[in-house]
Amino acid sequence: MTPIDANLGFKQSQLTEDGSQPLLEVHELKKYFPLQGGLFGRPRQHLKAVDGVSFSLNRGRTLGLVGESGCGKSTLGRAILYLQPPSAGQVRLRGQPLSSLSNAGLMAARRDMQIIFQDPYASLSPRRTVAQIIREPLDVHRIGNSAERRERVEELLTIVGMRQNSLNRYPHEFSGGQRQRIGIARALALNPKFIVADEPVSALDVSVQSQVLNLIDRLKAEQNIAFLFISHDLAVIQHVSDDVAVMYLGKIVEQASARDIYAHPQHPYTRALLSAIPVPDPRHKAQRIALTGDVPSPLNPPAGCPFHARCPVVTELCRTDVPQLKPGKGEATHFVACHLVE
Amino acid sequence: MIAMTAKARAKSSDILLSVRDLVVEFATDQGIVRAVDGVSFTIKAGETVGLVGESGCGKTVTGLAILGLIPSPPGRIVSGSIELQGQDLTQLSEPELRKIRGSEISMIFQEPMTALNPVFRIGSQMIDVLRRHQQLSKRQAHAAAIEMLAKVGIPDPAVRIEEYPHQLSGGMRQRVMIAMALSCGPKLLIADEPTTALDVTTQAQVIEQIIKLQSEFGMAMILITHDLGVVAETCRQAIVMYCGSVLENAPVTELFAHPRHPYTLGLLGSIPRLQADRQTKLPIISGMVPDLLHLPSGCRFADRCNKVMQQCRQQRPLLGALPDTSTKVACYDPH
């Protein structure tokens, strides 16, 4: 995973080290929400939810996207899938820019890109049976006949570890963890190459959370699916990810391999995040990096580095100049957006 | 001299709260649900106890029962006692309980936005609490409220006190809740998932603040949470609940070093931890929490336990002291 150099533009699709094409490339993606209220209903200002994010993702890899609420991580996931079309920037799936596709073309592309939602209660229709829910993508994309679809649904149910007698039951008869399995089965129905998993375990209890995390891990290995795994939980992110990107106020502030970012965090925000996690070991003495204040409103982002108002090592430069994502110390794939990292 | 003896007395008679065989039931369309089933524990003055468990284990209902806040109907305390310094709270009338709530025992909730009234300024809500329990003029209460807001780390308290809840961030709102809960100097604070809705950096700030204030005010705290990390960092004692009953009650250092109940062991194992080497597979607890309407007759954990024996399915193991330890565990074959 490498951030794509802005100067290179995006005329040519980037190639990975072994010469193959990345599955997914995201280049300078922006998602601004206009806020109404100006004269004649013209947007008075924009909320910059995602503000220039670039990365690429290879097959079978998991990129963990971590950040606090409101940092734009869910919006990024939706913008990549064109569920909320981005305001600027590009998304390429196997080199094909999604922006160049017609509605029909986009629909076809979605066979390869699916999403698992956070809330297993809100994301399943209460009026449909489990079989109907899991079969829906097959119906929409007109895949197979009725018998084949039924067979595929049964197969999917087995893959996610549920019993066949669940087929004709309704979502309310299942616990949160089981519902999340139903949502995963639905996402798998079309054999996608890429799945956005948006906080898939946040609503679950720990004993169930680990079951679902293991399932996702297995799918990645068995089906070679690439995941964008969005979470606020750094321990969960570490467990599932090959690479990690840390987001703050719509921008990626640090990205690296999971190993390197946890062993050698370089951005002050990443360090503070890591230090803030309560460790389930009473012998552990927490060495907190105290952050003051709250995340600034994305409506009114500070000038310069988005993190400068809370940064414990802020300098004059940080208040005026926006730091760009550039190679940090250590591994070549480690990128940091901080003036203090040289 | 008198202060000295009072202090000494506080030390020796250190049991503040004693919950015995508490049973709470709720009537539902499908039948009676026993949310809390024979829970007993004690809290010493000034002590922090973590009440841990997954959703539906009865930890919040236990907290609400202590405050006499079980909505009735459909809920009711069926049996058991809750003694605060010798006085059984389950026997008190609503007006008597109202005097205790907020002054002797306070509670803070998970979601500060729903716990605060959106149409009143923060100041007026705080002044309400203060004047209900203390003989204060409006002006005195106003000053006391500002002082409390400053204590919980709210910048510009004199300005903030005039604001409405929606004008504050989640972390600030939770601080306001804490300020309100502590404003009358309670002996016991029940904190129900106080930081679950907050981001991790804000959570760290709020927890630090709670610990600081707790030692400053010398109050005891019951911290209800599902987060074992938070328990390890803040609590002296931990009570692990499952399906309405206590499975293990131990000093935190013991609990994390030697979890005795298979459920505690499984729970600790299944947390993804930050560590140098990524585990390939997380250990799991198989199966899921049983339906409270159809609880197994023996041990509630039997169906998910890897050490289950015949005896476990026949009779529920009672919470008992484990020899040579300070741990109490409800298991026939503890680790």
Choose from A195-209, B218-232, B261-275 the range with maximum mean pLDDT.
Answer: B218-232
Residue B200 has pLDDT above 70, yes or no: yes
The answer as to whether B10 is a domain residue is: no
| Cross-chain Cβ contact A282/B252 below 8 Å | yes
| Cross-chain Cβ contact B54/A276 below 8 Å | no
Sequence-distant (≥ 6) Cβ neighbours of residue A86 within 8 angstroms: A29, A30, A31, A50, A79, A80
pLDDT digits (tens, 9 = 90+) for B59-78: 999 999 999 999 888 899 99
Q: How confident is the model at residue B278 (pLDDT cuts 50, 70, 90)?
A: low
pLDDT of A10: 40
pLDDT digits (tens, 9 = 90+) for A212-258: 898 888 888 899 999 999 998 888 898 899 999 999 999 999 999 99
Residue A5 has pLDDT above 50, yes or no: no
What is the Cα–Cα distance from A306 to A322, expressed in whole angstroms? Answer: 8
User: To the nearest 10°, the Cα dihedral for B88, B94, B96, B98?
Assistant: 110
pLDDT digits (tens, 9 = 90+) for B75-127: 999 999 999 998 999 999 999 999 899 889 999 988 777 888 889 999 999 99
Q: Is A282 on the interface with B (CB under 8 A)?
A: yes
Domain that holds residue B329: 262-335
Q: Is A276 on the interface with B (CB under 8 A)?
A: yes
Instruction: Tell me which chain B residues have a C-beta less than 8 angstroms from the C-beta of A180.
Output: none
| Cross-chain Cβ contact A278/B203 below 8 Å | yes
- The percentage of residues in chain B with a pLDDT greater than 70, rounded to a whole number, is 94
Smallest Cβ–Cβ distance between A280 and the set B253, B268, B276 belongs to B268
| Cross-chain Cβ contact B226/A286 below 8 Å | no
Residue of B nearest to A289 (CA): B201
Task: Tokens 């009953």: give the residue.
Answer: B245
Average pLDDT over residues B291-298: 85
Q: Is A164 on the interface with B (CB under 8 A)?
A: no
pLDDT digits (tens, 9 = 90+) for B29-49: 888 999 999 999 999 999 999
What is the Cα–Cα distance from A220 to A202, expressed in whole angstroms? Answer: 19
Smallest Cβ–Cβ distance between A205 and the set B54, B207, B279 belongs to B54
The answer as to whether B73 is a domain residue is: no
User: To the nearest 10°, the Cα dihedral for A315, A316, A318, A321?
Assistant: -160
The answer as to whether B277 is a domain residue is: yes
The answer as to whether B15 is a domain residue is: no
The answer as to whether B298 is a domain residue is: yes
Task: Tell me the three state secondary structure of residue A304.
Answer: coil
Q: How near does any CA of chain A get to the CA of B169, in Å?
A: 8
Apex B185 CA angle, B184 and B190, nearest 5: 100
User: Cα separations (Å) of B223 from A290, A330, B107?
Assistant: 22, 42, 10
What is the Cα–Cα distance from B86 to B16, expressed in whole angstroms? Answer: 8
Residue of B nearest to A234 (CA): B274
B161 near B123, Cβ under 8 Å?
Answer: yes
ipTM confidence score: 0.77
Q: How near does any CA of chain B get to the CA of A59, in Å?
A: 19
Query: What one-character-per-residue DSSP string does A70-119 give?
Result: TSSHHHHHHHHTTSS--SEEEEEETTEEGGG--HHHHHHHTTSEEEE-S-
The answer as to whether B112 is a domain residue is: no
The answer as to whether B309 is a domain residue is: yes
Instruction: Tell me which chain A residues have a C-beta less than 8 angstroms from the C-beta of B55.
Output: 205
What is the Cα–Cα distance from A44 to B155, expressed in whole angstroms? Answer: 30
Q: How near does any CA of chain B get to the CA of A118, in Å?
A: 15
A172 near A164, Cβ under 8 Å?
Answer: no
pLDDT of A276: 87
User: Cα separations (Å) of B36 from A214, A219, B32, B332?
Assistant: 32, 39, 12, 21
Could you list the beta-strand ranges (E) of chain A: 24-35, 45-57, 62-66, 88-93, 96-97, 113-116, 194-198, 226-231, 243-248, 251-257, 326-327, 335-336
Average pLDDT, chain A: 87
Residue of A nearest to B232 (CA): A282
Q: Is A207 on the interface with B (CB under 8 A)?
A: yes
Number of domains in chain B: 1
Residue of A nearest to B259 (CA): A281
pLDDT of B277: 62
Q: Is A202 on the interface with B (CB under 8 A)?
A: no
pLDDT of B30: 85
Residue A38 has pLDDT above 80, yes or no: no
Q: Of all helices (H) and strands (E), which one includes residue A220?
A: helix A206-223
**Total CB pairs under 8 A between chain A and B:** 127
The answer as to whether B252 is a domain residue is: no
pLDDT of B280: 67
Best of A239, A248, A269, A299 to substitute, by most chain B Cβ atoms within 10 angstroms, is A239
